[in-house]
Amino acid sequence: MSSFFSFLEQNLSSVLFIFICNAILLFFWNYFSYFYDSIPWFLEKLTKSLLSTILLELLCLHLAFLLFPSNLARTLLLLLVGLSAIALIVEGFLLYSYRSLITPYVLDAILQTNFKEAREFFIAFLNLKIFLIALGFLLAGYGYFKFFPTPQTTLSPRLIGIFFALYVLLSVIFIADVANRYFKHKPEPFAKLNENSLTRLFYSIRQYYGSTSFYTSYKQLVSNYQALRESYQGKISKSSDSPQHIVLVIGESTQRNFLEVYGYELPNTPFLRSFANNEGGGGN
């Protein structure tokens, strides 16, 4: 165990960077979710989230340290640093725009989006302010690694023993809680994996592609509609009085009810703006 803590000490800047990225995301997520309801509740949720995220990080690093040679484990750590930086920017944007982190529904929106829709999204939502914020995070990350002090002393055996005891205690509590929720068939037994951006992505992917997931239900629904469509082939004739245009809007936007086309101030999407001007009577 002392060798693992030595590994953490030698790579302290990377370990802390991953934690800081997660802490920033968790702070704002809990702030948007709980602060306005109750400040004590917000502080309680934030504290639990921070404990969970550092524990998940240590468990992931410990597993990598046990399974791989130290050089490869260090390479994986650097990879996690890069992923954490990307997660901070991407999920930071999601929090800023949608008050959400990565979820199966966000994954579905990404995976079901074509190039044209992606282009419209970037035109509508990305602006100079968001770009400057992302650039600021990147510069802050560069400055962090540039000026982070290199540890000059090693941890004493007594201090390592204290850290080890806390690590084991928290790990036992964490695993026992997850196991209790799992074996008692409580909803979302592995929900604590959402407390860390590195495990949240894998957990969301598992939820998305699972046997009872949203994506599986979606594929079944599409299959049912396809079978229904084929059953009507050759049975429906087109009438000369049929309308020229039928517009079916599905998942147009998370803010679709507040666009200009419905009388609100939020700008229409490029497609809806064009349609409203050309076919809809100038957007009225």
pLDDT tens per residue across span 154-182: 667 777 778 888 888 888 888 888 888 77
Chain length of the chain = 284
pLDDT on residue 150: 67
For residue 135, being part of any structural domain is answered with: yes
For residue 213, being part of any structural domain is answered with: no
On whether both 196 and 251 belong to a single domain, the answer is: no
On whether both 158 and 68 belong to a single domain, the answer is: yes
On whether both 37 and 166 belong to a single domain, the answer is: yes
Structure tokens at 149: 């002090």
Over 90: is that where the pLDDT of 27 sits?
yes
On whether both 57 and 197 belong to a single domain, the answer is: yes
State phi, psi for 112 to the nearest 5 degrees. Answer: -95, 5
Q: Is 281 helix (H, G, I), strand (E, B) or coil?
A: coil
Over 70: is that where the pLDDT of 253 sits?
no
On whether both 60 and 142 belong to a single domain, the answer is: yes
For residue 217, being part of any structural domain is answered with: no
On whether both 259 and 188 belong to a single domain, the answer is: no
Q: Which of 51-60, 166-175, 213-222, 242-251 has the highest mean predicted lDDT (pLDDT)?
A: 51-60
| pLDDT band with cut points at 50, 70 and 90 for residue 211 | low
For residue 18, being part of any structural domain is answered with: yes
pLDDT on residue 214: 66
On whether both 280 and 189 belong to a single domain, the answer is: no
Q: Which of 65-69, 76-80, 188-192 has the lowest mean pLDDT?
A: 188-192
Q: What does DSSP assign to residue 213?
A: S
Q: Is 59 helix (H, G, I), strand (E, B) or coil?
A: helix
Over 70: is that where the pLDDT of 91 sits?
yes
For residue 142, being part of any structural domain is answered with: yes
Cα gap 97→255, rounded to integer Å:
10
Nearest to 56 by CA among 196, 211, 156: 196
Over 80: is that where the pLDDT of 271 sits?
no
Cα gap 181→97, rounded to integer Å:
32
Cα gap 203→191, rounded to integer Å:
8
On whether both 47 and 104 belong to a single domain, the answer is: yes
Q: What does DSSP assign to residue 61?
A: H
Over 70: is that where the pLDDT of 187 sits?
no
Over 70: is that where the pLDDT of 212 sits?
no
Q: Which of 48-57, 102-111, 137-146 has the lowest mean pLDDT?
A: 102-111
The contacts found for 120-129 with CB under 8 angstroms, 24 or more apart, are 120/269, 120/270, 120/271, 123/270, 124/267, 124/269, 124/270, 125/97
On whether both 134 and 12 belong to a single domain, the answer is: yes
pLDDT on residue 81: 92
Number of domains in the chain: 2
Over 80: is that where the pLDDT of 186 sits?
no
On whether both 162 and 22 belong to a single domain, the answer is: yes
Domain C-terminal end among 147, 178, 203 = 203
Q: Which of 112-116, 136-140, 218-222, 252-256 has the highest mean predicted lDDT (pLDDT)?
A: 136-140
Cα gap 46→84, rounded to integer Å:
19
For residue 236, being part of any structural domain is answered with: no
Cα gap 38→32, rounded to integer Å:
11
Position 96: which residue type?
Y
Q: Which residue has the tokens 């803590």?
A: 5
For residue 263, being part of any structural domain is answered with: yes
On whether both 170 and 118 belong to a single domain, the answer is: yes
Classify burial at 102, counting beta carbons within 10 Å of its beta carbon; exposed 0-12, middle 13-18, buried 19 or more.
Answer: buried
Residues 34 and 19 sit within 8 Å (Cβ to Cβ):
no
For residue 252, being part of any structural domain is answered with: yes
Rounded percentage of the chain residues whose pLDDT exceeds 70: 86
On whether both 93 and 190 belong to a single domain, the answer is: yes
Containing H/E element for 100? none
Over 80: is that where the pLDDT of 125 sits?
no
Q: Which of 32-41, 136-145, 177-186, 264-273 has the lowest mean pLDDT?
A: 264-273
pTM equals: 0.70
Domain coverage including residue 261: 242-284
